[in-house]
Amino acid sequence: MAGTVLVTGGTGYIAGELIRQLLAKGWTVHATVRNKAKSEALLRSRVGDPGEDRFKVFEAELMSDDGWAEAVAGCTHVAHVASPIAASTPKDENEMIVPAREGTLRALRFARDAGVKRFVQTSSMAAVAYGRSEKEYTVDESDWTDVSHPDVYPYVKSKTIAERAARDWMAAEGGDMEFVSVNPAMVLGPVDDPDFSPSVEAVKQLLNGSMPMAPDLGFAIVDTRDVADLHVRCLEESGLAGERFLAAGKFYRMIEVGEALRRGLPAEHTKKVPTKVMPNWMVSVLSLFNAGVRSIKSELGKSRHVDASHALERLGWKTRSEEESIVDCGRSLIEHGVVKP
C-alpha cells in the first residue's frame, strides 16, 4: 500500500531516512521545511530527488498556520516528525514545550481537515521512561513519564506533553482519522552530512576528545534506519488506531559506547575515546558551571531498559545490532570531516 504522505521536519535526522524509504516503496512524499529557499536543494540531494511528481517540498513552521493547508493537500497519511530540540537546556522550558505541543496540534488539525486517514506522531522514549526515582527499571508502551517529578528536564517534558495533548485531541476532535505514535530511544546510525542531529553529539564528543572521561550515563539505542522502518510499518499496516510503539534496543552506558567505537573503527580515529568513567563528584562540580550538565546530573547511574516486543509481535519490526549503529555513526562522522584524527 502506498499513497501520498506528508513528512514534517523534512531536513531532520529521522525524517530524511524516512523519506528515502517511503520513496523506495512507491509513496509520493510531501515534506515541510522551515525555510524552503535554504533547504530544498539540500533535502533533494539527500533523498535522491525522484522528481516533482513524487516529491514536493513546502515551507511550514510549527508555530504558524502558513503553508500547512498546501503541504497536506492530497495526502492520505501524515508522519509528524518535526519537533523542537536544543543542544543546550533553555532558560524557559516553554521555549520547547509550547512549539512541541502547539506544532503537533496544528499538524493534527490540518491533517483531519484535509481528510488524512492516518497520522503517525514521532514521540520519544522521553515520554515513556522518565520521572522515576528508581536506579534501574524496564518500561513498555503502557508507561508514561511523570512530568511532575523534579528530575524531569524541558526536552523530556515537551515530548511527554506533546504526545499527551495529541492523544487527548484525537479523542475529542480527531473524528475518523487514526493516530499512532512511535517512541524512539537514543537515535544513532549514519549521518548525511556535517549538519547532524543533536542525538549524535555524544558519539562526536567521545571521538573528538571533548569527553576525556565518560559520565556514568546511558541510553537505550536504536538506529535511524530502523526508526524510519518502524514509521513506514505504522503508515502501512491496517488496524493500528491508538497504538503506541517503542523503538529501542539494548541499554548502553557511555563507556560501553566508547568501547564499541574502539572495537569497530581504526585505532587512529579512537585514540581520544575515553577509557575511564568520570566520578560522579566531578560531574557535580561541572554542573555548577554548566547548565547542560546540571540538567542531566540526576541521570547518573540510572539504567532504563526498554521492552520493545510489542513492535516485533504486532509489526514484525526488528533492530540491527546496537554496535553496528554506533560504529556506523562514528564512521560517517569521520567521513564527513566532523571528527578528525
Burial of 63 (0-12, 13-18, 19+ CB in 10 A): exposed
Contact 126, 155 (CB under 8 A): yes
Residue among 205, 193, 230, 181 nearest 83 (CA): 181
Contact 82, 33 (CB under 8 A): no
For residues 85 and 95, what is the distance between their CA atoms, to the nearest angstrom?
A: 10
- DSSP states of 124-187 as a string? -GGGTS-S---SEEEE-TT----TTSTT--HHHHHHHHHHHHHHHHHHHH-TT-EEEEEEE-EE
CB neighbour list of residue 222: distance below 8 Å, 6 or more residues apart: 184, 185, 186, 187, 188, 247, 248, 249, 319, 325
For residues 189 and 289, what is the distance between their CA atoms, to the nearest angstrom?
A: 31
Contact 271, 341 (CB under 8 A): yes
Kindly name the residue from 157, 159, 204, 302 that is annotated as catalytic: 159
Active site (annotated) includes residue 38: no
Please tell me whether residue 116 adopts helix, strand or coil conformation. coil
For residues 246 and 20, what is the distance between their CA atoms, to the nearest angstrom?
A: 22
Positions marked active-site: 159
